[in-house]
Amino acid sequence: MTTKTAALDSTTISSVISAGDQPKGTFFARIVAAAAFAHLLNDLIQAMLPSIFPMLKTQFSLSFGEIGMIALTYQVTASLLQPWVGLYTDKHPKPYLLPCGMIVTLLGIVFLAIAGSYSMLLFAAAVVGVGSATFHPEASRVARMASGGRFGTAQSTFQVGGNSGSAIGPLLTAAIVIPHGQSAIAWFMVAALIAIAVLFRLTGWTLTHGHAQLKGLARHQKEGLSRSGIIQAVVVICILMFAKFVYIASFTNYFTFYLIQRFGLAVQESQIFLFIFLASVAIGTFAGGPVGDRIGRKAVIWISFLGVAPFALALPYANLLWTAVLASTVGLVMSSAFAALVVYAQEAVPGRVGLVSGLMFGLMFGIGGIGAAGLGQLADTYGIVWVYGVTSFLPLLGLATTFLPNTRKQMRPG
């Protein structure tokens, strides 16, 4: 990790960021790419936490329920703070929150590397969650600011950076942490330091060009939904997010345990299968945004939920090879919904990008955390294989998309 990562020196970072001379209203590809790269590093660090759960379970003699509480602590901490960060910065922009949030994540890595008790693990998970809560709404705002009106493409590019980091994280954990123990977690500080450097440069671009970009995007802004429409949309989005992220949480937090118990794999072998799933999630996320720009958000949401249902229902009964194939298909298809849901919500409530992004990412972490804790309790009681049989029905909740209001077609005057 360190050799490849260190190669991204200040010259490379500068070439990624220096897009300020492009005309207003264009898609600032380098800025979006830089935000996505920072998202990759951020979520690479976040993915390390569930990847070390098997090691922590053995080292600290934890139950599945206690593992679920670590996941809950991290994800709920992140989810509760994100909407407030977004709401505050909508009214009082604080661009330097981006690198400051990553500094907090850096501290969380240190605490994880030296934790000697279960309570210290919970504290470290909470610190990492605070860093994530600060990063997501602000970085999502920068990606939208640089979109030039191609909101779905920018959001999916930003999100695929995070998904790529989530896929790489378990591999790095298997290669670095599992063989060398808890202290090797400290190597992830390198990723945090590089992310801090990138985010300082992104902050500089935002301060210099952000105001002009926001003015240029005004003509792309839709009118939004009425108050009753917003309430209806929020209820449906909550149902869809519950279905998506509880099901995804069953993979990100417990897929390794499922494979170990059902097929007798070693921990490092199971991490390869988790990587395959998370890589599929990254590809599906990237596809969802541009497709949504062309065919509409609701169409993508329909496809991502109902299209995945047959594969999800078949997965608990498959052999090892077909488990890998079906898990990849599930990750590919279902992940396309998130960018569409984020942009849909931003269009429904225009002018509140930080708040909406914070709510969406916060809802993602909150539901994922509650789902992880609940699934852990169920796994302790009924077994992890039983849990996968039950969660396979969750994609059918995608039928709620029927009640998702259409965002208004007319544009607001710029």
Rounded distance, CA 257 to CA 371, Å?
Answer: 16
3-state secondary structure of 222: strand
Q: What is the pLDDT of residue 210?
A: 63
Q: Note the pLDDT tens digit of each residue in 198-225.
A: 999 999 888 887 655 655 555 555 556 7
Q: Is 411 helix (H, G, I), strand (E, B) or coil?
A: strand
86-to-202, 327, 393 alpha-carbon distances in Å: 17, 33, 33
Please tell me the predicted confidence (pLDDT) of residue 213. Answer: 61
Report residue 292: phi and psi, to 5°.
-65, -35
pLDDT at 195 over 80: yes
> Taking the CB of residue 276, how many other CB atoms lie within 10 A of it?
17
Task: Walk me through the domains of the chain, giving residue ranges and CATH numbers.
Answer: 19-403 (1.20.1250.20)
pLDDT score of 303: 86
Phi-psi domain of 66 (left: phi exceeds 0; alpha: psi -120 through 50; beta: other): alpha
Longest Cα–Cα distance in the chain: 61
pLDDT for 124:
94
Structure tokens at 372: 């992880």
Q: Which residue has the higher pLDDT, 19 or 326?
A: 326
Q: Is the pLDDT of residue 3 over 70?
A: no
pLDDT digit string (tens) for 151-179? 777 878 888 788 788 778 888 998 899 88
| Residues 110 and 137 sit within 8 Å (Cβ to Cβ) | no
In this predicted structure, the answer to whether residue 5 has a pLDDT above a threshold of 50 is no
Q: How many CB atoms lie within 10 A of CB 210?
A: 17
pLDDT value, residue 217: 52
11 pLDDT above the threshold of 80: no
- pTM (predicted TM-score): 0.67
List the structure tokens of 192.
């945090």
Say whether pLDDT at 331 is over 80: yes
